[in-house]
Structure 1
Amino acid sequence: MGDFWTRMEGRGPAEVVVDGVEVRAGSRVRLRPRGTADVLDLVLTGREGVVEAVEQDEEGAFHFAVTVDDDPGRDLGEARLPGHRFFYAADEIEPLGERACRVLVAGIGNVFLGDDGFGVEVARHLSAAPRTPGVDVVDFGIRGMDLVYALQRDYDAVILVDASPRGEPPGTLTVLDPTEPAEHAGPGQREASGAPAGGGQPLETHGMDPVKVLRLAAELGPVPRLIRIVCCEPESAAETLYELSAPVQAAVPEAASLVNALVMEMIAESAGRGCRDRAHG
């Protein structure tokens, strides 16, 4: 029994060569399922998608977990939930010779603490707009460990959206780069804030501190090389308030536009590096 669980815990290789092309998490493929009697195979034939993981069974055969581009529940597949994550053998996928740059936009905060729910509201605002390929917008709320695990999913870049008191007027937006040394920047400008190096600090599993989340994720494995934190100055975080204050609510559309601009910037930068570099703690 021990040998069985040891084999089950083994992960597949980082990449596999298919038709002379390296295929790994993030690689774009076209589906060519062998089955003809299965209705799902007929529907998915010719569809394009992204490889989420490469698995290997006990016999040594490779299986590619793929999420389909136009699947409205694609984010569920990326969360490894059944029904939106499809497995195919090497001869059932056609490599497209490119790797999609993947960006995670994480809305974080507690909606029961007034302005602390800012990140969640921005995520909802972004989710209502058409989805940008390769970009996942997720409302993590206060689920710190879920975000830690998400950061291990071969994303090239991540944007954390949160409320953070920094002594500015309520509603002020600031972009932090936690991978650079701290330096001063004015309101709404990019500001650096110390790298997410491992510090062994405990993480409250029912809370959400972006710095601690990044540190723990870096201790567990590789994290996205490009990291930005979009902060909004709160007016109130009282437990009796279940909605955003007026200045913070007014900042939500501006923050969504700022996040979209950062996404395009990070995709361009990642594409220039081949969407492969990831930082280690």
Structure 2
Amino acid sequence: MADNAISSTVASAALIAGNAAIAKLTAADTSRIIAETSAKETSNTAAEDLEAINDQVAQMIEQTKLNNAGKVTSYEKETYDVSIDNNMTARDIGILRKNDSRLNLFSSLTKGDTVDVFKFRVTTTGYTKLGTLIADPEDKELLRIQIFSKSSGILIADRDPESGDAYENYQKLEAGTFELKQDEYAVRVSRMPGTDSLSQNEIQYVVQLSQGLYKNDFDTIEKGKSSSQDAYGFATTLANNADSLISGLSAASTFISSLPAIGTSATSKLTGALYDALF
């Protein structure tokens, strides 16, 4: 019995030692695999970042060539702010077409104004770039921008860091690496939660959307509330209603031709500032 006990003790000790050795080797292998994987992922990420930068530089060069060759046409239209902002009263800022159009929105949240809502349509699923510019750098953290699918109401992207996946999507949009699907979208511009609760700051902002190169540059400049419109943006007289209906039908039938080309758009004046904000 004693010999058996000794043999059992020796066997247990050997087993423990063996297990310890295996555990040590396993830990070493695990550390090595983690290190190799991390290095590989870091290398892949660096390569992807470099490729993205190269693509953006190449795109900027091609766009400069188009601009210098006079192959970019600028259009400008005006809208008016409304007292009641929601999806139903969203002002149209245009149609985003891949390698064709760029949309530029110029507006502001005035004192007491808590939200602006706009809409745009994407005709081709593709990587989309979102740029923003705040007139006063001190107001940069006060502005919240959200993008919703108008058809489903789903939040796609959100500038609020507390919004989880929507915030990641917003960062990808800023980098031009988020694929925006063919759909109609709402852009909701408001004040960041926890800031300026009394809406005392006037925040002037620019929102820019593009999918690759562009040959048509659309500026939408929003003015203050119009005295000829009600809180929802509808004309207050029958004559104005008729004029609005005729104008709306005309714009719907031929969006581009209804907008007069201009020599120098508001966009061109802010191009340098926008690039500084984006890169």
Same fold (TM over 0.5): no
Which protein is richer in helix relative to its size?
2
Higher relative contact order (CA 8 A, sep 6+): 2
Q: Which has the larger radius of gyration?
A: 2
